[in-house]
Amino acid sequence: MINSFIYKIYIYVQIYMSLNTHHNNFDIFLKTLNENDIRFIFMRGYKYLPEKADTNLDTIIHPEDWEKYKNICSNLINNGIIGYEQHGVFKNYGRSKCGRDMIYYPIFTKGTKGEHLPNKSFRIDSYMDLFFFEGNKGKILPLRLLDYLFRNKKQINNYFIPDDISNIILLVCRNIYDKNGNWKASGTKHTSVIEKLISNVNKEDFTNISNILFNTKDNLYDNLLNKKYDIIKKPTKMLFLIRKTGLQRHPNTIEEVRKLLEENNYIINTEYLITIKENDKFLNNFYKDKMNNEDIKKAILQANENQCYIFITDYNNYKNNSVDIKNILRSKYPNPDNINWNYFHSSKNVDRAYLEIDIINSNQSNLKGIGNYYTNFVI
């Protein structure tokens, strides 16, 4: 008797679910995300909502909420609200050099009355983090841009979209990375949005945020305002650092580094002195297992005191690369106390530079001037 009753309930549920339209199930999907505090933003494809998506809804999920999001999607799939296999497969684009996973997960609504919808459904292309593509590889964007994007998102009904500054930057990245600089591949779909927004955003605010990724010399705001899309290139930055012991022993090192960088065609975006707070705690977090070895730990702690001087530069058309520059400086200014406790550091590559700059500028919005204080520091 009980089994028969349960079976009837099961049949009724199936019938009810089969009568749900794609719009009903899309609303259930959104309601479920909001009720479970999943942070999500539709980056693209939301222009015609709630009637339909443009094509796909490119959706970034905050990486801290990803596992919970996947569990919610699994439950909704089991309950017939959304599907998975029809529109592609889970793809892992690997882990960036700064340790962030780049995962793509496409899902779509199930239901009736979807004939007028692109893909005959609402297709949600979910991204675990803020990344784009260079060929078949993922290209992660700085954490500060991810933080800005989520802190400034705009709510429309029961979903979220980027604020105007984020929207412009994301569309630029879509074209220089995913489209490899071929702006014409998207027709006027992206440029028309940029042209509508760029004159309405504050130039200084836009520049402060866009320069998290782009070099100062790129003049992104002016190029967009003047519709010079073809000269917008992929940004690259590099970090150079003079440790406190070097500053104390050789007061002229700041000028020497500046001179060497300029001779090697580096354009300096900004430079400043930083004071490190909770240095031991940070170094433990950064070096992790290395700090378990007492000899290595001692060397790390002795090499890294609580102040250093930072140069952030572009990384285009240089003569000597960042490692060569570092080695030139180490040879010119050796540490007589211990050869391993050198005075200079540079990032090994562009991805690492963006990570290190991210950590240095943690919770900071204004980098201008000398004497700024930051809570974190990376060597």
Distance (Å) of CA 270 to CA 51, 111, 126, 236, 357: 47, 54, 35, 14, 11
What does the pLDDT average to over 327-352?
Answer: 87
pTM score of the predicted model: 0.83
pLDDT confidence band for 289 (50 / 70 / 90): confident
Q: Residue 144's closest CA among 366, 318, 311?
A: 366
Residues sharing a CB contact under 8 Å with residue 231, sequence separation 6 or more, in sequence order: 223
Query: Which pLDDT does position 174 carry in this prediction?
Result: 95
Q: For position 327, what pLDDT does the model report?
A: 94
6-22 mean pLDDT: 59
Q: What is the pLDDT of residues 41-91, one digit of tens each?
A: 999 999 999 999 999 999 999 999 999 999 999 999 999 999 986 666 778
Q: What is the pLDDT of residues 149-178, one digit of tens each?
A: 999 999 999 999 999 999 999 999 999 999
Give the pLDDT score at 375.
Answer: 30
CATH node for 237-374: 3.30.70.141
CA torsion sign for 276, 278, 280, 283 is negative
Q: Is the pLDDT of residue 360 over 80?
A: no
DSSP sequence for 78-121: HTTSEE-GGG---EEEEE-TTS-EEEEEEEEE--B--TTSGGGS
Helix residue ranges, H only, the chain = 2-19, 22-35, 66-78, 143-151, 164-173, 189-198, 203-210, 220-225, 244-249, 253-263, 279-287, 294-303, 322-332, 350-360
Q: Which of 77, 65, 82, 74 is nearest to 129 (CA)?
A: 65
pLDDT tier for residue 369 given thresholds of 50, 70 and 90? very low
pLDDT score of 15:
46
Confidence of residue 93 (pLDDT cuts 50, 70, 90): confident
Tokens 């309405």 sit on residue = 200
* pLDDT of 374 higher than 50: no
CA–CA separation, 368 and 269 (whole Å) = 10
- Residue 38 near residue 61, CB atoms below 8 Å: yes
User: What one-letter code names the amino acid at 98?
Assistant: C
Residue 1 scores a pLDDT above 50: no
* Neighbour tally for 95: CB within 10 Å: 13
Q: Dihedral sign, CA of 357, 358, 364, 366?
A: positive
- pLDDT for the residue numbered 365: 29
Confidence of residue 5 (pLDDT cuts 50, 70, 90): low
25 has pLDDT over 90: yes
Secondary structure of residue 311 in the 3-state scheme:
strand
Kindly state the average pLDDT of the residues 116-144.
92
Q: Is 89 exposed, middle or buried (0-12, 13-18, 19+ CB in 10 A)?
A: exposed
Bridge partners (DSSP) of residue 127 are 60, 104
Kindly report the number of other CB atoms within 10 A of residue 305's CB atom.
14
* Other CB atoms within 10 A of residue 292 CB: 10
**Type of residue numbered 96:** S
The answer to whether residues 143 and 354 touch, using CB atoms and an 8 Å cutoff, is no
The domain segmentation of the chain, as residue ranges, is 2-161, 163-172+179-235, 237-374
pLDDT at 281 (0 to 100): 61
